[in-house]
Amino acid sequence: MSLLGTIRNPKQRKLLMSAGLSWMFDAMDVGILSFIIADLSLKWQLSPQQTGLFTSINSIGMAFGAAIAGFMADRYGRKSVLLWTLLIFSVATGLSAAATGFAILCVLRFIAGFGLGGELPVASTLVSESVPSKDRGRAVVLLESFWAAGWIASALIAYFVIPKYGWQAAFIIGGLPALYALYLRRAIEDPPRFTKQSVQNGRSSISFSQRFKSVWAKPHRRSTVMLWLLWFTVVFSYYGMFLWLPSVMLIKGFSLVKSFEYVLIMTLAQLPGYFTAAYFIEKFGRKFVLVLYLVFTAVSAAWFGLATTEGSLIAAGICLSFFNLGAWGGMYAYTPELYPTSVRSTGVGLAASFGRVGGIIAPYMVGMLVARHYEVGYIFGIFFVTILIGAAAVLWLGVETKGKELQD
C-alpha cells in the first residue's frame, strides 16, 4: 500500500496496520458469508426467503453490536472493546463450521454479527483520534481499504476452498483471527485524547441515555440526521447488492465456480476505489468524495441491473465495487469528525447501528423479490434511488470537516 507511506509517524503507521488487519478479518468474514450462502442455497435447498433471512440475521447482530460497542468504547476505552469484539466474531465464525442446521447457523451468525458490528466503528474512532488533522481523513480511508483486502481474501477462499473442501472449511478459516487478538493486545493503545478526556471529565459515569441525548442535542442534530440517512442508504445498498452478488450471477445463468470467478474480478476493483478516495478526501474534501462516489455508485447499480452480456456485467460490477467502497471509506472518515471526544464513539456507533437496519432489510427484501420473480434490473433500480437519497443528504445537510481539528 504505497499510500501508507504518506502517514509519516511510525507509531501511527503501526496502529493503522494493526487496526487495518483486524478490519481485513471483518471483511473476510462478511465476504465469505456471501459465497457460503450461494453454496448452501444449493446444498441445503434453501428458499430465497431463507437466503435473505440468513444474510439479514448477520446485520441484526451488527446493529446491536455497533450501538452497544460504541457506548462501551466511550465508557471503557477503544482498545478493550476492539479486542473483545474481535474475539466474539472470530469464535462465533469458527463455531459456525460445526452447525448442523439452518436455525443453529443463524444463531451463530447473529453472535458473529454482534462482534463485527461492534468492532468497525470502534476501530475507525480509534484511528481518527490518533492521527493529526492533515492526515486523518486519508488514514481512516486507508483503514477502510483493508476491507477490500478482506473481500479479496474471501473471494480467493471461495474460489479455491469452498468448491473442494466445502463451506465448513471457509468458516474455520474465518475463525482464525481470534489468534490475532493476542498480538493486538500489545500492539495498540487508547488514544491520548481519549485518555485525557476520561481522566478530566470522569466520562465512565455518563449513562447511555445521556450520551444518546447528547448526540441528538441541537449542536449535533443536523449532522446526526445527515449521518443516519447516509449510513442507512449506503448499508442498505451495499448489503442488498454485494451479499447477493454471487447469487445474482447464478440467477443470470452462470455456474457456481464461474460466478465466484467473476465476483473475484469485481472485488479487485475495491482497492483502487479506496486509494483514489484516500487521495481525493484530503485534496477536495469529505463532501466532494462522498457525493461524487455515491452518484457513480448509483449509476453503476442501474447499469449492473440492466446488463445482459458477460462483458457489461463484469464492467458494471467493477465500477460498482470501485465507487461503492470508495464511498464507504469517505463515510468512515467523515463520521467521527462530527462529534466531540466525549460521545464520538457513541455517535459513530449509533449511526452505524441505524445503518445496519438497512443491512437487515435489504438482503431479505431481495430474497422476497427474487422469490416473486422480479427482474434483477428492477431490484437494482431500488438501490439506484436509495443511493441518490444518501448523496442528497450529504450535499444539503453535511458540513465540510477537511483540515479541522477534532472537537474535545
Task: Give residue 3's pLDDT.
Answer: 52
Residue from 377, 371, 338 nearest 137 by CA? 338
Q: Is the pLDDT confidence value at 6 over 60?
A: no
Mean pLDDT over residues 312-331, rounded? 91
Higher pLDDT among residues 267 and 109, named by residue: 109
Q: Is the sign of the CA dihedral 116, 117, 119, 124 positive or negative?
A: positive
Residue the block writes with cell 479455491: 160
* b/e burial code for range 289-318 (CB count within 10 A of at least 16 → b): bbbbbbbbbbbbbbbbbebeeeeebbbbbb
Q: Which residue has the cell 481485513?
A: 24
Query: Can you tell me the mean pLDDT for 263-271?
Result: 81
DSSP type of residue 404 = P
pLDDT tops 60 at residue 204: no
pLDDT at 197: 66
* Residues 16, 130 contacting (CB under 8 angstroms): no
User: What pLDDT score does 311 carry?
Assistant: 84
Residues 6 or more apart whose Cβ sits within 8 Å of residue 145: 1, 20, 270, 271, 274, 275, 278, 329
Instruction: Output 308 or 292, whichever has higher pLDDT.
Output: 292
- pLDDT value for 191: 81
Please give the average per-residue pLDDT across 201-221, as a whole number: 79
401 Cβ neighbours under 8 A, 6+ residues apart: 286, 334, 337, 338
Cβ atoms of residues 148 and 242 within 8 Å = no
- Mean of pLDDT values over 11-39: 84
The 10 Å Cβ neighbour count of residue 63 is 22
In order of 118, 199, 208, the CA distances from 123 in angstroms are 9, 21, 20
In the predicted model, what is the mean pLDDT of residues 108-119?
92
On the question of pLDDT at 196 being above 80, the answer is no
pLDDT at residue 17 is higher than 80: yes
- CATH number of the domain located at residue range(s) 11-185+207-397 in this protein: 1.20.1250.20
> Which uninterrupted H or E stretch holds 181?
helix 180-187
The DSSP annotation for 103-121 comes to: HHHHHHHHHHHHHHHHHHH
Q: Which residue has the higher pLDDT, 386 or 167?
A: 386
Neighbours of 161 (CB within 10 A): 17
Cα separation, 54 vs 344, whole angstroms: 31
- For the cut 90, the answer to whether the pLDDT of residue 40 exceeds it is no
Give me the pLDDT at residue 7, please.
Answer: 58
DSSP state for residue 131 in the 8-state scheme: S
Whole-angstrom CA distances from 406 to 193, 204, 296 are: 10, 20, 30
Q: 84 or 405: which carries more pLDDT confidence?
A: 84
Predicted confidence at residue 202, as pLDDT, reads 53
CA dihedral sign, ordered 344, 70, 73, 82: negative
Among 69-78, 204-213, 224-233, the range with the most confident prediction by mean pLDDT is 224-233
- DSSP secondary structure code for residue 190 in this structure: -
Report, as an integer, the average pLDDT of 272-288: 91
Is it the case that residue 307 has pLDDT exceeding 60? yes
Please give the pLDDT value at position 189: 84
Q: Span 31-39, mean pLDDT?
A: 81
Angle 310-334/270-283 helices, nearest 10 degrees? 40
For 213, other C-beta atoms within 10 Å of its C-beta total 11
CA distances from 361 to 55, 228, 233, 368, 397 (A): 10, 15, 11, 11, 25
The confidence score (pLDDT) of residue 171 equals 92
Tell me if 331 sits within 8 A of 407, measured CB to CB.
no
Mean pLDDT of 233-241: 91
Of the pLDDT bands very low, low, confident and very high (cuts 50, 70, 90), residue 1 is very low
Q: Where exactly are the structural domains of the chain?
A: 11-185+207-397
Which three-class secondary structure state does DSSP give residue 403?
A: coil
| Cα(41)–Cα(102) distance, integer angstroms | 11
